[in-house]
């Protein structure tokens, strides 16, 4: 077991921090690449100090992988986005623009194996979204 | 709840975070060459901890007073305190909230992310180190940093809880695992951050997770084997007394996390344990008193049976947990002698409660308070104008971090003075819709810290209260939050730390600053401790900024944004 874990850790390192399952085709594209790119900057400035530069969690919860959103968790994009848009950043909730919140959500989706597409994620649509959020990162 | 066999529980060591755990015992010839053989801690040692040379549990002794009887360091000579040793800097950028436990010349500490280290208390030589290796799932449901506030000691073992809800016993001399028990699954809401306490051979510890709707519990494990002796929920089910104080079914997600270490009255064999906020935060979603949230529980430590309770804030909507240390004190109030417990509550009131029956003796505000209008019929009267709803935003004081948060204050039993590290802040709060989902915050409110308009430029203070009267004796105000513990000594001193990295010593009588340490490597949020080895008195403190203030205070915490992170333990004594 121990040796297996070490090997897995090496594989993660080689692949640059994420192992994406080849099931991505079944996951909807609900944000644009530009949103995710912008979201990385917003995340870095407002979220990374608690959630970690790689979303691994520190003083705040992890936001990537099965430790964040396993299938058994039954999360939706709307439920997670509600937390982000209403409660975050902790200590100053609601202080980002609607566009910035959508960008952060796009960034988190991208890090969890959701593909970018042609349609931008809209703030209000995201709040009501029933799209399942199941991390594709093992 | 899952019921696992005892052997299955013990074997869970191999299945969970413990699998990656690592103990490093240092070889002979290291700095601890003169280390004494470890002397097992007896039940009598724990009962007599108040007069011991060591610091045998989180709050020093069962009374929870954070008071030591030592008189070597005094108001007259404290200016001569110098550093004796410091640990290596520990590169974890989270808050260090541990109170070291000292027995003989062994010192046991914990760090964020559940590492345990044994040092020689005199030289600082490292004896062993154990890294629990918390699994990633546990970080899903932390609310307020990755803290671990310390260990308990009994027999030849050291006990601690973990963020993924294990309780672990280590061999005190070597750091090797004796037993490792899972008491709840990680990632669904529960976590453990406080130090256990050992009473009558049981290791007693409790759950966190009040922000995730996790139904709180206190649990006792046999110190020798880890086998469960009892488990008491802080939220009654509908068949139990108090079960009718909840809307149907809501007890299952009612929070009430008893997330700080309890205290104990050996004379009456009564365990005192504070209970945290109800879930969700928005009170309009759960009409009723919501027992036993925001309450003090008195329990039988051998069975877990609840003897009585006192609820500080009924149907709370402001996150005013009742978990601050319930400290034993014998007081005389208006001519009548009482065996009391005193508590500086998050709701901004200082309480004295008869510890034999749970009856209120008095409660007085110790900070600006617009949430609680006063005390009527022994209960706090809430200000309905300042309770948020889905349609109403409010501004009230104190903030959700309380007039005082977890950091322990001190009580000097000679002068009957309480020393209270106090926050001065208010908040806005609005209701928002929420539904329960395991592993997600269960709040129903959005909230922001605001400066207290009655205390401009002042975020914290240390104050002294005469607990025979409830009246303030002195107050030292600070532009910084006062979010570190206080230690009182028979030498007439109060020690406490600052966000900008100084350990300070004040006169108990006047609050005058008598000594300040050189600037340490990080800010202080921990509790100072004091102990004696071979007739020499020491004072120890963790530097290691983090915890609730930088996480939740938002713009109010701007001044502290650049405080260096990382932990380092410092030990001081008088120069020889």
Q: Which of B470-477's residues contact partners 24+ apart within 8 Å by CB, and which partners?
A: B470/B333, B470/B350, B470/B352, B470/B362, B470/B363, B470/B364, B471/B364, B472/B366, B473/B417, B473/B511, B474/B510, B474/B511, B475/B511, B476/B506, B476/B511, B476/B513
B348 burial (CB, 10 Å; 0-12 / 13-18 / 19+) is: buried
* Chain A hits for B93, Cβ within 8 Å: 58
**Neighboring chain B residues of A54 at a CB cutoff of 8 Å:** none
Among candidate residues B265, B319, B321, B452, the one labeled active-site is B319
Which chain A residue is nearest to residue B186, measuring alpha carbons?
A67
Phi, psi of A25, rounded to the nearest 5 degrees = -60, -25
For residue B1, is it within any domain?
no
DSSP 8-class letter at A123: H
In angstroms, the separation between the Cα of residue A80 and the nearest Cα of chain B is 8
Torsion of the alpha carbons at A29, A32, A38 and A41, rounded to the nearest 10:
20
Q: Which residue of A has its CA nearest to B446?
A: A87
Which residues of chain A does B142 touch, with a Cβ-Cβ cutoff of 8 Å? 57, 59-61
Taking an 8 Å cut-off on Cβ atoms, the answer to whether B439 and A74 are in contact is no
Distance CA B282, CA B7 (A): 42
Q: What is residue B177's three-state secondary structure?
A: strand
Residue whose token pair is 């917003």: A42
Domain annotation covers residue B553: yes
Instruction: Write out chain A residues lying below 8 Å of B187, CB-based.
Output: 67
A94 interaction partners in chain B (CB closer than 8 Å) = 446
Strand arrangement of the beta sheet that strand B417-423 belongs to: B410-412, B417-423, B460-466, B471-478
Q: Which residue of B has its CA nearest to A66?
A: B137
Which residues, listed in sequence order, are joined to residue B489 by a DSSP beta bridge?
A: B68
3-state secondary structure of B424: coil
Q: Are strands B486-489 and B67-68 parallel, antiparallel or unpaired?
A: parallel
CB B110 within 8 A of CB B526: no
Task: Give the integer Cα–Cα distance in Å for B228 and B377.
Answer: 39
Is B180 within a domain?
A: yes
Strand, coil or helix: B247: coil
Compute the distance between CA of residue A136 and CA of residue B94 in angstroms, rounded to an integer: 29
Does the pLDDT at position A1 exceed 60?
no
Question: Among partner residues A59, A73, A79, which is closest to B551 by beta-carbon distance?
Answer: A59
Which pLDDT belongs to residue B12? 39
Q: How far is A137 from chain B (nearest CA, A)?
A: 13
Residue B432 domain flag? no
Residue B145: enclosing H or E segment and its boundaries?
Answer: none
Does residue B369 fall inside a structural domain? yes
Residues of B in contact with A53 (CB under 8 A): none
Distance, in angstroms, between A60 CA and closest chain B CA? 6
- Would you list the DSSP string of B44-106? HHHHTGGGSSSB-STTSSTT---EE---SS-TTTGGGEEEEEEPPPB---S------EEETTE
> Rounded to the nearest 5°, which phi and psi values hold at A51?
-100, 0
Angle at B451 between CA B450 and CA B457, to 5 degrees: 160
Q: What is the full per-residue pLDDT of chain B (576 aa) written as tens digits?
A: 333 333 333 333 333 444 456 777 664 444 445 789 999 999 999 999 999 999 999 999 999 999 999 999 999 999 999 999 999 999 999 999 999 999 999 999 999 999 999 999 999 999 999 999 999 889 888 888 999 999 999 999 999 999 999 999 999 999 999 999 999 999 899 999 999 999 999 999 999 999 999 999 999 999 999 999 999 999 999 999 999 999 999 999 999 999 999 999 999 999 999 999 999 999 999 999 999 999 999 999 999 999 999 999 999 999 999 999 999 999 999 999 999 999 999 999 999 999 999 999 999 999 999 999 999 999 999 999 999 999 999 999 999 999 999 999 999 999 999 999 999 999 999 999 998 989 999 999 999 999 999 999 999 999 999 999 999 999 999 999 999 999 999 999 999 999 999 999 999 999 999 999 999 999 999 999 999 999 999 999 999 999 999 999 999 999 998 999 999 999 999 986
Q: Do B554 and A68 touch (CB under 8 A)?
A: no
Chain B residues whose C-beta is within 8 A of a chain A C-beta are 19-20, 93-95, 135-137, 139-142, 144-146, 187, 432, 437-441, 443, 446-449, 546, 550-555, 557
Instruction: Give the structural domain span for B206.
Output: 6-426+439-449+457-574
With b meaning 16 or more CB within 10 Å and e meaning fewer, what string describes B478-509?
Answer: bebbbbbbbbbbbbbbbbbbbbbbbbbbbbbe
Our answer to whether residue B319 is catalytic in this structure is yes
pLDDT of B20 reads 54
Q: Check B446 against A87: CB less than 8 A apart.
A: yes
Q: Which residues in chain B touch residue A67, judged by CB atoms under 8 angstroms apart?
A: 135-137, 139-140, 187
**pLDDT reading at A7 higher than 50:** no
Residue A3 confidence (pLDDT) above 60 = no
In terms of residues, how long is chain A? 138
Cα separation values, A102 from A30, A52, B191, Å: 11, 19, 30
Give the pLDDT score at B576: 65
- B515's enclosing H/E stretch is strand B513-516
Contact: A58, B20; criterion CB under 8 Å: no
Q: Tokens 């004091």: give the residue.
A: B530
**Mean pLDDT, range A68-86, rounded to an integer:** 93
As a whole number of angstroms, the distance between CA B143 and CA B148 comes to 13
Give pLDDT, residue B308. 98
Within 8 A of B555 by CB-CB distance, chain A residues are 91-92
Mutate to test the interface with A, among B20, B439, B545 (most CBs of A within 10 A): B439
Please classify residue B261 by burial: count the beta carbons closer than 10 Å to its beta carbon, then call 0-12 exposed, 13-18 middle and 19+ buried: buried
Dihedral sign, CA of B438, B440, B445, B447? positive
| Identity of the residue in A57, A83, A87 whose CB atom sits nearest the CB atom of B139 | A57
What domains can you pick out in chain A, each with its CATH number?
20-127 (1.10.760.10)
Distance in angstroms (rounded) separating the CA atoms of residues B99 and B83: 18
Nearest to B412 by CA among B73, B66, B47, B75: B66
The distance in angstroms from the start CA to the end CA of chain A is: 17
Contact yes or no for B432 and A86 at CB 8 A: yes
Is B555 in a helix, a strand, or coil? helix
Those residues of chain A whose CB sits closer than 8 Å to some CB in chain B are 1-2, 5, 50, 56-62, 65-68, 73-75, 79-80, 83, 86-87, 89-95
B93 CB neighbour count, 10 Å cutoff: 18
| Phi, then psi, of B283 in degrees rounded to 5 | -70, -25
Q: What pLDDT was estimated at residue B136? A: 86
Distance to chain B for A58, nearest Cα, Å: 7
Question: Cβ separation of B144 and A1 shorter than 8 Å?
Answer: no
- Taking only the tens place, the pLDDT of each residue in A30-45 is 999 999 999 999 999 9
Q: Point out the residue among B137, B142, B555 whose CB comes nearest to the CB of A92.
A: B555
Cα B423–B488–B563 angle (5° rounding)? Answer: 45
Q: ipTM surpassing 0.85, yes or no?
A: no
Residue B324 lies in a domain: yes
Domain count across chain B: 1
Q: Are B484 and B450 in contact (CB under 8 A)?
A: no
- Inter-chain residue contact A60 with B142, CB threshold 8 Å: yes
CATH number at residue B338: 2.140.10.10
Q: How many CB atoms lie within 10 A of CB B45?
A: 16
Of A58, A68, A90, the CB nearest to B146: A58
How far apart (Å, rounded) are the C-alpha atoms in residues B428 and B539? 39
Residue B414: inside a domain, yes or no?
A: yes
Banded model confidence at residue A61, pLDDT cuts 50, 70, 90: confident
Which member of A5, A62, A86 has the closest CB to residue B139? A62
């Amino acid at each position: 077991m121990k040796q297996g874990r070490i090997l897995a850790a090496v594989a993660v390192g080689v692949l640059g921090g994420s192992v994406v399952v080849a099931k991505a085709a079944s996951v909807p594209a609900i944000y644009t690449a530009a949103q995710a790119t912008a979201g990385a900057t917003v995340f870095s400035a407002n979220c990374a100090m608690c959630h970690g530069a790689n979303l691994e969690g520190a003083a705040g919860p992890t936001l990537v992988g099965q430790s964040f959103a396993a299938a058994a968790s039954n999360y939706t994009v709307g439920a997670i986005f509600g937390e982000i848009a209403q409660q975050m950043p902790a200590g100053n909730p609601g202080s980002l623009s609607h566009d910035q919140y959508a960008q952060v959500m796009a960034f988190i989706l991208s890090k969890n194996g959701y593909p970018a597409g042609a349609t931008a994620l809209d703030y209000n649509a995201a709040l009501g979204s029933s799209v399942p959020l199941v991390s594709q990162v093992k | 709840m899952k019921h696992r066999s005892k052997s299955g529980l013990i074997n869970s060591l191999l299945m969970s975070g413990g699998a990656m755990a690592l103990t490093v015992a240092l070889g002979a010839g290291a700095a601890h060459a003169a280390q004494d053989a470890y002397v097992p801690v007896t039940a009598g040692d724990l009962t007599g901890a108040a007069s011991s040379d060591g610091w045998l549990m989180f709050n020093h002794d069962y009374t929870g007073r954070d008071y030591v009887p030592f008189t070597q360091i005094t108001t007259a000579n404290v200016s001569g305190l110098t550093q004796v040793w410091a640990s290596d800097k520990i590169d974890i950028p989270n808050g260090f909230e541990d109170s070291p436990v000292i027995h003989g010349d062994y010192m046991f500490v914990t760090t964020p992310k559940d590492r345990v280290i044994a040092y020689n208390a005199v030289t600082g030589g490292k004896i062993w180190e154990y890294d629990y290796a918390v699994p990633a799932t546990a970080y899903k449901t932390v609310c307020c940093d990755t803290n671990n506030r310390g260990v308990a000691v009994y027999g030849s073992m050291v006990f601690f809880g973990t963020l993924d809800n294990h309780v672990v016993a280590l061999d005190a001399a070597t750091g090797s695992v004796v037993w490792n028990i899972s008491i709840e699954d990680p990632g669904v809401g529960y976590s453990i951050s406080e130090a256990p306490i050992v009473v009558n051979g049981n290791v007693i510890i409790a759950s966190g997770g009040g922000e995730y709707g996790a139904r709180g519990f206190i649990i006792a494990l046999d110190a020798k084997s880890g086998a469960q002796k009892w488990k008491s929920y802080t939220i009654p089910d509908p068949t139990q007394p108090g079960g009718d104080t909840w809307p149907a079914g809501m007890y299952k997600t009612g929070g009430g996390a008893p997330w700080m270490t309890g205290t104990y009255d050996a004379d009456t064999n009564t365990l005192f344990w504070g209970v945290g906020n109800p879930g969700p935060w928005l009170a309009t979603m759960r009409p009723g008193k919501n027992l036993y949230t925001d309450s003090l529980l008195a329990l039988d430590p051998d069975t877990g049976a609840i003897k009585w309770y006192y609820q500080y804030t009924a149907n709370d909507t402001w996150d005013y947990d009742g978990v601050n240390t319930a400290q034993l004190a014998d007081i005389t109030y208006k001519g009548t002698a009482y065996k009391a417990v005193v508590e500086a509550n998050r709701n901004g009131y200082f309480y004295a409660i008869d510890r034999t029956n749970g009856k209120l003796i008095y409660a007085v505000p110790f900070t600006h308070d617009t949430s609680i209008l006063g005390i009527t019929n022994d209960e706090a009267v809430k200000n309905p104008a300042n309770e948020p709803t889905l349609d109403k935003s409010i501004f009230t004081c104190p903030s959700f971090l309380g007039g005082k948060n977890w950091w322990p204050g001190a009580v000097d039993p000679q002068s009957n003075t309480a020393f209270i590290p106090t926050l001065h802040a208010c908040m806005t709060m609005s209701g928002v819709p929420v539904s329960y989902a395991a592993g997600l915050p269960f709040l129903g409110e959005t909230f922001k810290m605001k400066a207290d308009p009655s205390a401009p430029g002042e975020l914290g203070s240390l104050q002294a209260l005469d607990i025979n009267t409830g009246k303030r004796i002195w107050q030292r105000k600070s532009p910084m939050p006062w979010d570190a513990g206080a230690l009182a000594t028979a030498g007439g001193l109060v020690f406490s730390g600052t966000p900008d990295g100084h350990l300070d010593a004040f006169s108990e009588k006047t609050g005058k600053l008598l000594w300040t340490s050189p600037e340490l490597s990080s800010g202080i949020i921990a509790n100072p401790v004091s102990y004696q080895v071979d007739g020499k008195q020491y004072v120890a403190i963790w530097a290691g900024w983090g915890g609730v203030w930088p996480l939740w205070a938002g713009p109010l915490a701007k001044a502290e944004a650049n405080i260096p992170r990382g932990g380092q333990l410092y030990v001081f004594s008088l120069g020889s």
